[in-house]
Amino acid sequence: MKWGLIGASTIAAEHVIGAIRAQNGNSVEAVLSSSRERGAAYAERHRIVRAETDLDSLLSSPVIDAVYISTTNEKHRDQALAAIAAGKHVLCEKPLAMSVADARAMVHAAARKGVVFATNHHLRCAGTHRAAKAAIAEGRIGKVLSMRVFHAVLLPKHLRGWRIDNPDAGGGVIPDITVHDADTVRFYLDEDPERVVAQAVSSGLGQGVEDSVMSVWTMPSGVMVQSHESFTHPFAGSGLEVHGTEGSIFARNVMTQQPKGTVTLVNASGETELPYDSGNLYDYALAAFNRAVSGTGRPAADGVDGVKSLAVAMAVRQSAHEGRAVDVNYEGM
């Protein structure tokens, strides 16, 4: 599969270009940047054959089979719709769009065109989370009662651009991190939050956007979910706990892009460290995407997952702004 990168981004440089190249027969053919100079420098730095500044020119290349969209969030929708119209398979960054209705339109367009459309939710690709989910599915903690997500981190200095001061580009911790936690909770529990209550603040980094949020989610099964995301916590550590009638799972330092952390099962027999696959998260996502394109599998997170995680995040933001409980609107998905 030959890829075009839409966006000369940090995430592509740090994780996704390598993950594409780790797949048999995959290569990066071109990168699109709005700046000729930055695009050319990026292409040279990452050994990419062509740098483009015109989306149509990149998409009209018959060589390119798939695109990876990692521009700022407000650009995802139009770039994805153009790529789909050109018949390219699409791996799109989260949040898929600035509204749930737009994200839904992207998923419907891909279905009509018959191309693969996936969302790059990396956390469900981590061996830690897959091991914890498997333990729950095997009944090792009994009936699940509650889940707590701790994802308050310190935003690295090199990422303190649009994320902390540009709401029009999709800045703020809710579209950045709450969407990932929504996807992770959905992955663990195999159900979609119905209603949320949230409070958000700016605690030192956010200018015109929230940089910290806490929320509580109502699940159809009655499982209680609590979630905390922030850009301003240097030493909080990340993690996730799932508590059941027969045991608890404590996953520490697992809300990360790296294949690391610990997963501990605690029950009447004592404490057990769960072994997990320590493969690269993005390699896992790209391998699943390849299987989806070849018709032998599904993306790790598909377009519907992207719509639903965005819907939860949007409800969290609305609840924080309006100071009331908000029903999650999945726009019929």
The residue ranges that bind ligand NDP (CB under 6 A) are 7-11, 33-35, 38, 70-73, 93-94, 120, 122, 159, 161, 176, 257
Question: What residue ranges in the chain does DSSP mark as E strands?
Answer: 2-6, 27-32, 50-52, 66-69, 89-92, 117-119, 144-152, 195-201, 212-218, 224-230, 239-244, 247-252, 262-267, 270-273, 326-327
Compare residues 56 and 138 and give the one whose CB is closer to ligand NDP. 56
CB of 36 to ligand NDP, least distance (A): 10
CB of 145 to ligand NDP, least distance (A): 30
Distance CA 234, CA 182 (A): 22
CB of 127 to ligand NDP, least distance (A): 16
Compare residues 154 and 159 and give the one whose CB is closer to ligand NDP. 159
Compare residues 52 and 65 and give the one whose CB is closer to ligand NDP. 52
Compare residues 161 and 208 and give the one whose CB is closer to ligand NDP. 161
Element (H, E) at 107: helix 100-113
Q: Burial level of 179, CB count in 10 A (0-12/13-18/19+)? A: buried
CB of 13 to ligand NDP, least distance (A): 8
Kindly tell me the sign of the dihedral angle through the C-alpha atoms of 121, 306, 326, 176: positive
How many other CB atoms are there within 10 angstroms of residue 283's CB atom? Answer: 19
Distance CA 211, CA 317 (A): 12
CB of 159 to ligand NDP, least distance (A): 5
Compare residues 93 and 210 and give the one whose CB is closer to ligand NDP. 93
